[in-house]
């Protein structure tokens, strides 16, 4: 972890001296890593006797609600006044799993204005400078794994219990696609081995996250694969787009499209996949790739976003149709990379 001895001592002192008002923040449309990392720290700080809150911009999906104290998470879009108060009262802020402050756009200005000591823990490339202390390691599988290292570094492992270990494990499991990507480092498995010693039930966690979807999601997935997936074989690319009407037809709920962007990557030869979801005021773009073909630069340059080399996202303010056209028309630009990938 990229901290000096002095920095470690400083945070240790902060955490061990008196009772802090700690606020943990994570990004919009939180995933397993965002929630796992946040609740791991939340439960740990709670056990240490601090006053702690987790604040997120919008709802978390149902399949993450089993984690301990998920029901205490504050959702900005549900109670803005209370959320702003939490930011104002915080003396210590942990920003987890996002490099770009626009990912907490909803309450960004209040965080920027806050005098709290801010610590960013993240594994995305190019972290912004919106924190007093930046713990950023892009080679690490997940923010949850970084949180685990952070807890070790701060000599706080005595507080880890099964619930906390399960939150951390969930973050690692989801951000590595069940250890299929972002998991080339032995340290990840070392961390998992240690987490298992806290009595986590990894099969149960898999089941809670991946085998807990609604009937409508499975039907929507079938519809996507049969009717909506477009395969552009010449460019080793495939994509899926969904309109508001289609989402409504399948009674879409937050989290129902989780993982859909990965589906086209199972087609032989496909190196690049995309998912376009029409929201009320924009189109959410998700990009995935295999191998050396980096999609975060595409997300940043064309879709107001960013992310990891093989998993990125962004937003488009054009119509769904125009956004998809833009994407398809981009492909010739990347022909050499795509065919070489």
Q: For residue 24, report the phi and psi dihedrals to the nearest 5 degrees.
A: -110, 125
C-alpha neighbours within 13 Å on the C-beta side of residue 9: 3
| One residue of 124, 130, 217, 236 binding ligand 5GP per CB under 6 A | 124
DSSP of 25-48, one letter per residue? EE-SS--HHHHHHHHHHHHHHHHH
| One residue of 24, 25, 305, 316 binding ligand 5GP per CB under 6 A | 305
Contact 69, 41 (CB under 8 A): no
Q: What's the closest the beta carbon of residue 118 comes to ligand 5GP, in angstroms?
A: 18
Q: Alpha-carbon distance 253 to 107, whole Å?
A: 24
Nearer to Mn ion, 147 or 242 (CB): 147
Pairing of strands 74-75, 51-56: parallel
DSSP of 206-235, one letter per residue? HHHHHS---HHHHHHHHHIIIII-EEEGGG
Cβ atoms within 10 Å of 19's Cβ, excluding its own: 10
Examine residue 147 and tell whether it contacts ligand 5GP (CB under 6 A).
no
Q: Alpha-carbon distance 103 to 197, whole Å?
A: 34
- Judged by CB under 6 A, the stretch of 3-11, 39-47, 184-192, 312-320 that binds ligand 5GP is 312-320
Q: Alpha-carbon distance 264 to 241, whole Å?
A: 12
Examine residue 286 and tell whether it contacts ligand 5GP (CB under 6 A).
yes
Q: What's the closest the beta carbon of residue 18 comes to ligand 5GP, in angstroms?
A: 35
Nearer to ligand 5GP, 43 or 313 (CB): 313
- Judged by CB under 6 A, the stretch of 109-117, 219-227, 249-257, 307-315 that binds ligand 5GP is 307-315
Q: What's the closest the beta carbon of residue 175 comes to Mn ion, in angstroms?
A: 5
Binding residues for ligand 5GP, total number by CB under 6 A: 15
Examine residue 61 and tell whether it contacts ligand 5GP (CB under 6 A).
no
Q: Alpha-carbon distance 34 to 25, whole Å?
A: 9
State the alpha helices, DSSP H only, in the chain. 5-16, 32-48, 80-89, 108-113, 143-153, 162-175, 186-196, 202-210, 215-223, 244-249, 296-302, 320-330, 335-340
The phi-psi region of residue 219 (left if phi > 0; otherwise alpha if psi is between -120 and 50; otherwise beta) is alpha
54 beta partners: 24
Examine residue 271 and tell whether it contacts ligand 5GP (CB under 6 A).
no
The contact mask relative to ligand 5GP for 27-56 (x = CB under 6 A, - = no) is --x---------------------------
Q: What's the closest the beta carbon of residue 261 comes to ligand 5GP, in angstroms?
A: 6
Q: What's the closest the beta carbon of residue 32 comes to Mn ion, in angstroms?
A: 8
- Judged by CB under 6 A, the stretch of 38-46, 58-66, 155-163, 305-313 that binds ligand 5GP is 305-313
- Site for Mn ion, rule CB under 5 A: 33, 97, 142-143, 175
The contact mask relative to ligand 5GP for 227-266 (x = CB under 6 A, - = no) is ----------------------------------x-----
Q: Which does 136 bind (CB under 5 to 8 A by kind): Mn ion, ligand 5GP, none?
A: none
307 beta partners: 312
Q: Which does 309 bind (CB under 5 to 8 A by kind): ligand 5GP, Mn ion, none?
A: none
Residues that bind ligand 5GP (CB under 6 A): 29, 100, 103, 124, 261, 286, 305-308, 311-315
């Amino acid at each position: 972890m990229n901290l000096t001895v002095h920095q470690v001592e400083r945070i240790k002192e902060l955490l061990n001296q008196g009772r802090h008002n700690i606020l943990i923040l994570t990004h919009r449309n939180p995933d397993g890593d965002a929630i796992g990392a946040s609740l791991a720290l939340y439960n740990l700080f709670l056990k240490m006797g601090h006053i702690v809150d987790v604040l997120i911009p919008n709802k978390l999906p149902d399949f993450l609600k089993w984690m301990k104290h998920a029901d205490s998470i504050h959702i900005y879009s549900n109670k803005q006044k209370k959320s702003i108060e939490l930011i104002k009262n915080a003396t210590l802020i942990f920003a987890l799993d996002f490099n770009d402050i626009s990912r907490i756009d909803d309450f960004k200005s209040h965080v920027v204005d806050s005098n709290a000591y801010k610590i960013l823990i993240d594994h995305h490339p190019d972290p912004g400078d919106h924190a007093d202390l930046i713990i950023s390691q892009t080679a690490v599988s997940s923010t949850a794994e970084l949180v685990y290292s952070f807890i070790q570094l701060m000599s706080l492992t005595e507080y880890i219990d099964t619930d906390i270990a399960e939150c951390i494990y969930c973050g690692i499991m989801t951000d590595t696609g069940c250890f299929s990507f972002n998991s080339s480092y032995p340290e990840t498995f070392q961390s998992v081995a240690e987490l298992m010693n806290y009595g986590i039930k990894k099969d149960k966690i898999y089941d809670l996250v991946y085998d807990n979807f609604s009937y409508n999601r499975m039907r929507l997935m079938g519809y996507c694969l049969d009717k909506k997936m477009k395969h552009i074989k010449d460019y080793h690319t495939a994509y899926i787009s969904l309109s508001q009407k289609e989402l409504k037809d399948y009674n879409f709920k937050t989290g129902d499209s989780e993982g859909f962007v990965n589906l086209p990557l199972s087609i032989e030869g496909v190196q690049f996949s995309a998912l376009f979801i029409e929201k009320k005021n924009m189109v959410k773009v998700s990009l995935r790739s295999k191998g050396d073909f980096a999609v975060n630069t595409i997300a940043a340059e064309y879709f107001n976003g960013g992310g990891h080399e093989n998993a990125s996202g962004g937003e488009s303010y054009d119509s769904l149709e125009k956004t998809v056209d833009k994407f398809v028309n981009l492909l010739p630009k990347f022909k050499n990379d795509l065919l070489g990938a």
